[in-house]
């Protein structure tokens, strides 16, 4: 039985929103996401004091500059955590960073892109791994670009303040070294240390639109992002990624993602770890 609803939400409304989401973000919303979309968009209706979903659709069309980003923020899935899929960070520390320190010894430059970075736990985990594995990192030019379509998660990442529970899985040594514990009003919160924040640039970027970056990246993390895209969209995206990567760049994708039947431009090195084929 369907739950009683405050607002009428028909197939037509859902299909309409689904189409808009797919056109703007590449995200293909399945039928299973119907309740989630209803719940999240209902909050927008209430906030805007609108009476029904037809009015909300018109509102987006008339105020697309402002409302489109709220609409997109409402339908993205931002699940993430520090050191999620820990084996990627171990590979980074044990294999990839030593390789890059040798390969890039002349330029002393390393560029990393965390595409679909959500609230920042992924780029901060990368920053921690880089700092822990490169003893003379201050003599290197190391930058992490962290991008996401969702403007809310980008500001959260930039702030670098998290609930303490978010870091309970980390060793006490890591917590002590890389986080400040909040007190008084900030009790129960932690803040990442400035030496991590300084390495990262957070930027709103839709992977479906043009990318402004000029330089090439040595490492790309695009994890648990393309799982929401259909295959043709994934194919185009991975083709575009190759143009943004150095010759031997490495790429990490999410645990339930694969390049099988999507791209032949990358060689599989380990579980969800790839190297760009020259």
Ligand X SMILES: C[S@@+](CC[C@H](N)C(=O)[O-])C[C@H]1O[C@@H](n2cnc3c(N)ncnc32)[C@H](O)[C@@H]1O
Closest to ligand X by CB, 81 or 104: 81
Closest to ligand X by CB, 97 or 146: 146
CB of 84 to ligand X, least distance (A): 5
CB of 19 to ligand X, least distance (A): 15
Residue holding tokens 């390789």?
99
Closest to ligand X by CB, 104 or 204: 204
CB of 1 to ligand X, least distance (A): 31
Catalytic residue of the set 44, 84, 131, 148: 148
CB of 6 to ligand X, least distance (A): 26
Neighbours of 116 (CB within 10 A): 24
Tell me whether residue 148 is one of the annotated catalytic residues: yes
Neighbours of 173 (CB within 10 A): 9
Q: Which residues bind ligand X (CB under 6 A)?
A: 25-27, 76-80, 84, 116-118, 122, 148-150, 153, 206-208, 223-225, 228, 254
Q: What is the 3-state secondary structure (H, E, C) of 205-228?
A: CCCCCCCCCCCCEEEEEECCCHHH
179-181 and 200-204 beta bridge pairing: unpaired
Q: How far apart are CA 176 and CA 174, in angstroms?
A: 5
Helices (H), the chain: 11-25, 34-47, 53-62, 64-75, 86-91, 97-103, 121-133, 151-159, 172-178, 194-197, 231-242
Tell me whether residue 40 is one of the annotated catalytic residues: yes
Catalytic residue of the set 34, 40, 103, 265: 40
Closest to ligand X by CB, 17 or 172: 17
Is residue 169 within 8 A of residue 89, CB to CB? The reply is no
CB of 163 to ligand X, least distance (A): 16
CA–CA–CA angle 32, 150, 111 (5° rounding): 120
Closest to ligand X by CB, 76 or 197: 76
Closest to 219 measured CA to CA, from 169, 269, 173, 158? 269
Element (H, E) at 246: strand 245-253
> What positions carry a catalytic annotation?
40, 148
């Amino acid at each position: 039985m369907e739950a009683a609803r405050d607002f009428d939400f028909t197939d037509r409304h859902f299909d309409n929103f689904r189409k808009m989401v797919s056109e703007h973000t590449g995200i293909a919303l399945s039928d299973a996401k119907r309740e989630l979309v209803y719940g999240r968009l209902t909050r927008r209706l209430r906030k805007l004091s609108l009476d029904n979903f037809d009015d909300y659709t018109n509102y987006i069309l008339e105020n697309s500059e402002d409302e489109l980003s709220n609409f997109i923020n409402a339908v993205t899935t931002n699940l993430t955590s520090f050191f999620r899929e820990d084996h990627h960070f171990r590979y980074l520390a044990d294999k990839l960073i030593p390789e890059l320190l040798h390969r890039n010894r002349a330029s002393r430059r390393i560029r990393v892109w965390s595409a679909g970075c959500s609230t920042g736990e992924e780029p901060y985990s990368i920053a921690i791994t880089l700092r822990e594995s490169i003893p003379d990192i201050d003599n290197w030019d190391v930058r992490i670009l962290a991008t996401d379509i969702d403007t809310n998660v980008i500001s959260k990442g930039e702030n670098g303040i998290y609930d303490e529970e978010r870091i309970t899985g980390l060793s006490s040594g890591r917590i002590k070294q890389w986080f400040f514990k909040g007190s008084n009003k900030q009790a129960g919160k932690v803040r990442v240390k400035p030496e991590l924040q300084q390495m990262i640039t957070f930027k709103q970027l839709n992977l479906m639109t043009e990318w402004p970056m000029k330089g090439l990246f040595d490492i790309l993390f695009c994890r648990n992002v393309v799982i929401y895209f259909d295959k043709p969209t994934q194919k185009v995206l991975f083709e575009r990624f190759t143009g943004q990567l150095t010759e031997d760049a490495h790429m990490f994708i999410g645990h339930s993602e694969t390049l099988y039947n999507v791209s032949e431009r990358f060689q599989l090195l380990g579980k969800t770890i790839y190297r760009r084929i020259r």
